[in-house]
Chains A and B, each alone.
Chain A
Amino acid sequence: MAGDPTLIGRVTRSSTLGFVGALKSPEPEIPVFGMFCKCEAQRGKSDVLGVIYNINIEDDDLTRQIAAAERPTEEELADQQYVRQIPIEFEALAVGYRLTEAYFYTLPPQPPLALAPIRPMKSDEIVQFTNQFEFIPLILSASNLPVDALLAACLRKASVARPRQERQNFLLEAGRYCAKLLSHDLPRMDSFLRILCFEEKSAI
């Protein structure tokens, strides 16, 4: 967001399961699907950690009118895309929280308050958090979400946060962990591992 490059957006609504944030216009790299983010809760005592699973751009009558116009001008398109205040909403699934420097792989005790700043997790924070794979069951158990694609995207983000020589090993370990969790559902495991292989190729 303009003025504060470390801010993705601010919370508009939240629950212990996750939070929804809004921003005016997206930067090329934030927010993106599968991104790790954090948000203060309990008056700064804890950070709720989330992964972005949906980015939603609202429309309205004027946007639809311009979209349907025969030849919208570049300037009016730029106005609609970068200037006009149509909030872009993104939704994050809570995958853990941080309290006094320790990470916990369960739902947070309290959701963040409305308008709390949402920031991307730094590479070292992602590495520390994903050194353990206990966040994976929280993602896989989420209902009505594209959990396989989300998990694969998260694992890719977690791998690129690591030094190049550690990335493949991290993805292999994560893949084994997921295979155990999905062993009861072989078609799904097969599909997930294919997505992960694709992510692996693009990450390494």
Chain B
Amino acid sequence: MSLDLRKLLPQVDLMVQSIVSRNSRIDALIPEVLAAFAGLHSDDQELLQRKLDQAGETWPAAMPTDEEAQKTYPPPQPRREYSVFATDGSQIHPDRHSPTMYYLINIGRISLRYGSGAPPEISSVVKIYFDDDDLYDEFGSAISTSIINGKRDVLELESLASLAEKSTEQPSVALLDNGLLLWLAAQVGAHRNRPIDQLLDQYLKHMSRLQSSEALLAGFLDKPRHWNVVALLTLANTALEDVRQLTIKSNPYRGIIDRTIFSRILKPGFRSSLFIQRSKLNTAFRDAGHQVYFFYMHTGAGDNIVRVEVPEWVANSQSRLDIVHDALLQQCRQTEGYPYSLVRAHELAVVSNLDRQNLESLIQNRLIDHGLSFSQSRKAETKRWTGRKRRFQV
């Protein structure tokens, strides 16, 4: 064992003390935050909008919608007949210590027709990328893992659109195990480049395909750590003239996340009101007709609060929102808070270490069949030696 736990013990103690002290600070603030939340709708909405404008899109405050912020919505009448499509992706990143350079993306797909009694249809789409154009950018640099992850996100949405287009069943809900704003583009902010723009264009195109198919798209985020609603409350409690000075560090509610509020407000099965995520990226989504809204939902299991993101063409219809709300609750029932279809899509997508080793053996064997020699890097080889179970503990 390389990790000396004895040496770490004092640091672990410090970490735990810090968590305890932070939690007590947060607990003391919660009544104030809840009061601010309760008063949000009666606040001067025009003033709040001016504060939002002053703060700009860098301050991550959510924008209220026509739904009263503090209102909660009970579980809709359960439907018996509806379809659910779900996809999830997994990847092998390139490894320069491998015998050859490649990367792989595997997408797991599932279609469930509730009310039919029929088993679901499952499939996976797998592709290996090995051309220089795949592996290197226009400047000759190796493709970054974030671009590969972005490609995976685009493929997940593309697969979801394909499933939805094939189906004639209505209503249907298309589920992603993620937020709806393309994460890659969200991370780089204003520093987008051509490959990222291309991926974003493809992503938005697949959202349009889903919209045309009439499937109701939703992104499911388990254990979310967003604080968009808390950031809105901070703005509401800050004088207009002080908004420009507001920073994350000076935020009096620092450390409180939206889930903390909604776990005290939402009863089992209930959802919160809708909010809009304010960001430059969401403006691009809005311009394409897919502005992203979100709500929080109590899944009915324990105190499990999740965040659900939907595009505007779902958010703007009460009946569509009800279908998504109901489908997610029903999906979460058997699996204690996480949609069944996403559990299965993940299972179909996941690439284990053993899968990777098997694939590498296959590649090595094929290389040998063609008389090609290969060599692992010395680093990889020595890691293999030392990574095995040790005879003696150090």
Q: Which residues of A contact B (CB under 8 A)?
A: 62, 65-66, 69-76, 78-79, 81-84
> CB < 8 Å: which of A66, A71, A72, A79 contacts B120?
A79
Stretch at the interface among B185-193, B223-231, B334-342, B385-393: B334-342
> CB < 8 Å: which of A70, A71, A75, A81 contacts B116?
A75
Cβ-based interface call for B333 (8 A): yes
Cβ-based interface call for B10 (8 A): no
Cβ distance B115 to chain A, nearest Cβ, rounded Å: 8
Cβ distance A62 to chain B, nearest Cβ, rounded Å: 6
Question: Taking CB as reference atom, which chain A residue is nearest B348?
Answer: A85
* Per-residue A-contact encoding for B248-265, CB less than 8 Å = 1, 0 else: 000000000000000000
CB pair A72–B334 under 8 Å, yes or no, is yes
What's the tally of chain B residues with a CB closer than 8 Å to chain A?
A: 18
CB pair A62–B119 under 8 Å, yes or no, is no
Cβ-based interface call for B117 (8 A): yes
CB pair A79–B335 under 8 Å, yes or no, is no
Question: Taking CB as reference atom, which chain B residue is nearest A62?
Answer: B343
Residues of B within 8 A of A73 (CB): 114, 330, 334
> CB < 8 Å: which of B117, B120, B330 contacts A83?
B120
> CB < 8 Å: which of A65, A66, A72, A75 contacts B119?
A75
Residues of A within 8 A of B333 (CB): 69-71
Question: Taking CB as reference atom, which chain B residue is nearest A71?
Answer: B333
Question: Taking CB as reference atom, which chain B residue is nearest A73?
Answer: B114
Determine the distance from Cα of A72 to Cα of B122 in the docked complex, in whole angstroms.
19
CB pair A79–B334 under 8 Å, yes or no, is no
Cβ-based interface call for B280 (8 A): no
Residues of B within 8 A of A62 (CB): 335, 343, 347
Residues of B within 8 A of A82 (CB): 119
Cβ distance B273 to chain A, nearest Cβ, rounded Å: 29
Cβ-based interface call for B112 (8 A): yes
* Per-residue A-contact encoding for B149-176, CB less than 8 Å = 1, 0 else: 0000000000000000000000000000
CB pair B334–A78 under 8 Å, yes or no, is no
Residues of B within 8 A of A74 (CB): 117
Cβ-based interface call for B41 (8 A): no
Cβ-based interface call for B8 (8 A): no
* Per-residue A-contact encoding for B182-211, CB less than 8 Å = 1, 0 else: 000000000000000000000000000000
Cβ-based interface call for B93 (8 A): no
* Per-residue A-contact encoding for B312-346, CB less than 8 Å = 1, 0 else: 00000000000000000010011110001001100
Q: Which residues of B contact A (CB under 8 A)?
A: 112-114, 116-120, 122, 330, 333-336, 340, 343-344, 347
Question: Taking CB as reference atom, which chain B residue is nearest A82?
Answer: B119
Residues of A within 8 A of B347 (CB): 62, 84
CB pair A78–B119 under 8 Å, yes or no, is yes
CB pair B113–A66 under 8 Å, yes or no, is no
CB pair B340–A76 under 8 Å, yes or no, is yes
Determine the distance from Cα of A71 to Cα of B336 in the docked complex, in whole angstroms.
13
CB pair A66–B116 under 8 Å, yes or no, is no
Determine the distance from Cα of A65 to Cα of B344 in the docked complex, in whole angstroms.
13
> CB < 8 Å: which of A65, A72, A78 contacts B336?
A65
Question: Taking CB as reference atom, which chain B residue is nearest A67?
Answer: B334
CB pair B116–A84 under 8 Å, yes or no, is no
Residues of B within 8 A of A84 (CB): 344, 347
Determine the distance from Cα of A65 to Cα of B337 in the docked complex, in whole angstroms.
12
The 10 closest A-B pairs by CB, nearest first: A78-B119, A69-B334, A74-B117, A83-B119, A82-B119, A79-B120, A79-B119, A75-B112, A72-B334, A75-B114
Residues of A within 8 A of B340 (CB): 76
Given the interface pairs A66-B334, A72-B334, the reply to whether A78 lies near B117 with Cβ below 8 Å is yes
Cβ distance A2 to chain B, nearest Cβ, rounded Å: 13
CB pair B335–A65 under 8 Å, yes or no, is yes
Determine the distance from Cα of A155 to Cα of B111 in the docked complex, in whole angstroms.
45
Residues of A within 8 A of B334 (CB): 65-66, 69, 72-73, 76
Determine the distance from Cα of A83 to Cα of B344 in the docked complex, in whole angstroms.
11
Determine the distance from Cα of A18 to Cα of B343 in the docked complex, in whole angstroms.
37
Question: Taking CB as reference atom, which chain B residue is nearest A81?
Answer: B119
Cβ distance A120 to chain B, nearest Cβ, rounded Å: 25
Determine the distance from Cα of A75 to Cα of B118 in the docked complex, in whole angstroms.
6
Determine the distance from Cα of A70 to Cα of B118 in the docked complex, in whole angstroms.
20
Question: Taking CB as reference atom, which chain A residue is nearest B80?
Answer: A73
Determine the distance from Cα of A62 to Cα of B335 in the docked complex, in whole angstroms.
8
Question: Taking CB as reference atom, which chain A residue is nearest B113?
Answer: A75
> CB < 8 Å: which of A71, A81, A83 contacts B122?
A83
Residues of A within 8 A of B330 (CB): 73
Question: Taking CB as reference atom, which chain A residue is nearest B333?
Answer: A69
Residues of A within 8 A of B120 (CB): 75, 78-79, 83
Cβ distance B4 to chain A, nearest Cβ, rounded Å: 33
Cβ distance B346 to chain A, nearest Cβ, rounded Å: 11
